[in-house]
Amino acid sequence: MTQEQAVQAPTYDCRKAFAEELIALAREDERIVAVCNDSVGSSNLTHFRKEFPDRLINVGIAEQDLVGVGAGLANGGMIPFVSAAAPFLTGRALEQIKADVAYSRARVVLCGQSPGMAYGELGPTHHSIEDLSWLRAVADLPIVVPADPNETRAALRWAATNGGPSYLRIGRHPVPALDGSEGPFVFGRSTEVRHGDSATVIAVGTMVSRALEAAELLGGEGVDLRVINMSTIEPLDAEAVLRAADETGAIVTAEEATTTGGLGAAVATLLAQSRPVPMRILGVPRQFAPTGSTDFLLDHFGLTANGIADAARSVLRHARA
Amino acid sequence: MLSTDENRAEEFRTSRGRLADAGRESTLQAVEDLARRVRLSDLDMIGRAGLGHIGGDFSVIDILATLYGAVLKVDPSRPGDPERDRLILSKGHSAGALYSTLAHCGFFPLAELETFAQPLSALNGHPNRTKVPGVETNTGPLGHGFPVAVGCALAAKLQGSARRTFVVLGDGELQEGSNWEAAMTASHYSLASLTAIVDRNRLQQGARTEETKQLEPLADKWSSFGWEVRQIDGHDYGEVLSSLDPSSTGRPVCVIANTIKGKGVPFMEDRVEWHHKVPNAEQIMAAREELSA
């Protein structure tokens, strides 16, 4: 490995892209407001507040109120970006998300900040690994998990104009920028970030760049891994999943979330009924994480390039057996 | 989405226009007449459907009739008008009272009430804004309408609009903590255009509120949360109408409307079992007589 290759690619906290894009959108459209729960700092909204002091609504530490107020602002013609740490937004206010936002079809953009195990040592109370399972169970609620800063910006822009409710998972754990050659984020459409025909890894958020690393690891073994970034989890890009099953015959999913009902469950439900192919589902099993940093916990649960490569080897053995 | 009954909507506009120039007595008479018609329709709906929440409907109908009959700036032909006043029924189980009121004002045809709770009807057991014009948000789980109303009032304030927001809360519902989160937000943002009306009938599903989880001293609670409090007889049309005047203090207004569950039908009044008991044919006849008298 050369010196240049050993240098790590720069990584980004997607909350910065979130904050910058929200300001850009707010300059273009005066209906855009930010609503937060004492989360001005953790949602990176300090600059937004400085430029638009009246359009930053802080309801204090009160998530049920937070989401309800967002729905009311939408009713009143505003476009609220309701932003809070993902565990509290989705856990504490789940019924408000269901009744006031999704069922009422309120144009509220729910922004779950620092999802997954981004809060590492703060522990399972502060982890948001259940959000994808919970929210996939709610009808009429699109779920978008951007994988890098560019996707974060594009997802915000889509959400501002989509006319209905949405949930965006805004990552805090640093991720590299993806090569945008496969085109920009399009809602409801996945991107094939690496072509390949041996097996497919379908990943979201922090797992996309790790899946690409796994593909590099497997290259020397004659395995040509396809990597799909499924930034929209609901509605799932079924066409891309079925094509991957047909063309590669083996699927691995990877997400920084419980395996009970997120991406893996969505893909498995589709494949089991339409194209049953061998599959491995990577994520956090149904258990509370032990103490540790985000990186430690991702290692602990096998959510690494090596873990993904192992799952790919395993699913390929299964497919060839 | 149901569509407007244009004839009735025209009657509504004419009546509201006429009342604006008429004296207070005519207004109160019109409100009383609307309330009587709403109670009769609601009774029929619940009897036909074999389900509903008649006790809480009848405690809140005089409030709804006053709002729609004399206060709210709404046009049944333009339920999506951005400048309409907002009314949110947070005690969504009183959907029957709301549906009946909306239908009598022309938001949708009266005949639609016959479908209440029937398969595929727009009129579910709890109101749905995507199907019923005039409904602002989907309520049913308690403690939801108030935060949404706070958001509506905040939007009006940001837009510099004078439109008003009203939210009708059950008293038992105040045991939900989300209401007090909303109460703090409304006073923090000085939302003077917001009026919360508590249907204080003192009964909840299982027992009296004060036996279940005490709400008193209720007026003190609201005052201490920064609200202008008005305590009234929720069945005295004059008191209800006056209580809905805009804030005089720059603070949001809480109207504690002392009401009687099942009001208007003596054998139902203030009795816990009429929370969601359904009257039989004989009881419907008797109730009809009481309400028509």
What's the domain range around B235?
A: 6-292
Interior CA angle at B229 toward B226 and B235, to 5°?
A: 150
E strands, B48-183, where? 86-89, 165-170
- A contacts of B129 (beta carbons < 8 Å): 104-105
pLDDT of residue A7: 61
pLDDT of residue A251: 98
Tell how strand B228-233 and strand B253-258 pair up: parallel
- A contacts of B137 (beta carbons < 8 Å): 71-72, 75, 100, 104, 106
Q: Which of A54, A56, A65, A104 is the mutation pick for testing B, counting most B CBs within 10 A?
A: A65
Rounded Cα distance between B111 and B9, Å, is: 15
Structure tokens belonging to residue B202: 């003192």
Tell me whether residues B150 and A69 touch, CB distance under 8 A.
Answer: yes
pLDDT band for position A1 (50/70/90)? very low
CA A232 to chain B, closest CA, distance in angstroms equals 25
CA distances from A78 to A51, A214, A232 (A): 18, 44, 24
Which residue type sits at A68?
A: G
Rounded to the nearest 10 degrees, how much is the dihedral formed by the CA atoms of B265, B267, B271, B274?
Answer: -70
Residue B33 lies in a domain: yes
**Domains identified in chain B, total number:** 1
Given a cut of 90, whether residue A180 has pLDDT beyond it is: no
Residue B1 lies in a domain: no
Structure tokens belonging to residue B285: 């006849």
Q: Which of A53-67, A171-185, B6-20, B197-211 has the lowest mean pLDDT?
A: A171-185
Nearest to B147 among A54, A69, A74 (CB): A69
pLDDT band for position A3 (50/70/90)? very low
Cβ atoms of B229 and B219 closer than 8 Å: yes
Residue range B128-172, pLDDT digits in tens: 999 999 999 999 999 999 999 999 999 999 999 999 999 999 999
Rounded to the nearest 10 degrees, how much is the dihedral formed by the CA atoms of B141, B147, B148, B150?
Answer: 160
Domains of chain A, first to last: 11-176 (3.40.50.970), 181-320 (3.40.50.920)
DSSP state string for A54-107: GGEEE--S-HHHHHHHHHHHHHTT-EEEEEEEHHHHHHHTHHHIIIIIIITT--
| Bridge partners of residue A303, in order along the sequence | none
Structure tokens belonging to residue B221: 């609670």
Given a cut of 90, whether residue A6 has pLDDT beyond it is: no
Residue B79 lies in a domain: yes
Cβ atoms of B140 and B93 closer than 8 Å: yes
Average pLDDT of A261-283? Answer: 98
Tell me whether residues B137 and A72 touch, CB distance under 8 A.
Answer: yes
Tell me whether residues B141 and A95 touch, CB distance under 8 A.
Answer: yes
The CATH number given to whatever domain includes residue B181 is: 3.40.50.970
- The residues, ordered by sequence, that sit 6+ positions from B13 with a Cβ below 8 Å of its Cβ are B75, B76, B77
- The residues, ordered by sequence, that sit 6+ positions from A130 with a Cβ below 8 Å of its Cβ are A87, A90, A91, A257, A258, A260
Residue range A228-256, pLDDT digits in tens: 999 999 999 999 999 999 999 999 999 99
- Write out residues 132-191 of B within 8 Å (CB-CB) of A: 136-141, 143-144, 146-156, 158-159, 177-178, 181-182, 184-185, 188-189
- B contacts of A95 (beta carbons < 8 Å): 141, 144
Residue range B250-277, pLDDT digits in tens: 999 999 999 999 999 999 999 999 999 9
Residue B159 lies in a domain: yes
What ipTM was predicted for this assembly? 0.97
What's A31's DSSP letter? T
- Write out residues 36-65 of A within 8 Å (CB-CB) of B: 54-55, 57, 59-60, 62, 64-65
Rounded Cα distance between B71 and B89, Å, is: 15
With both helix axes pointing from N to C terminus, report the angle between B54-66 and B24-49 in degrees, rounded to the nearest 10.
150
Burial of B104 (0-12, 13-18, 19+ CB in 10 A): buried
- The residues, ordered by sequence, that sit 6+ positions from B58 with a Cβ below 8 Å of its Cβ are B39, B42, B97, B261, B262, B263, B264, B265, B268
- A contacts of B141 (beta carbons < 8 Å): 95, 99
Tell me whether residues B148 and A75 touch, CB distance under 8 A.
Answer: yes
Tell me whether residues B151 and A71 touch, CB distance under 8 A.
Answer: yes
Residue B254 lies in a domain: yes
Cβ atoms of A143 and A111 closer than 8 Å: no
Rounded Cα distance between B86 and B149, Å, is: 8
| Bridge partners of residue B253, in order along the sequence | B195, B228
Cβ atoms of A65 and B147 closer than 8 Å: yes
Rounded Cα distance between A313 and A282, Å, is: 13
Average pLDDT of A121-145? Answer: 98
Rounded to the nearest 10 degrees, how much is the dihedral formed by the CA atoms of B133, B137, B142, B144?
Answer: -160
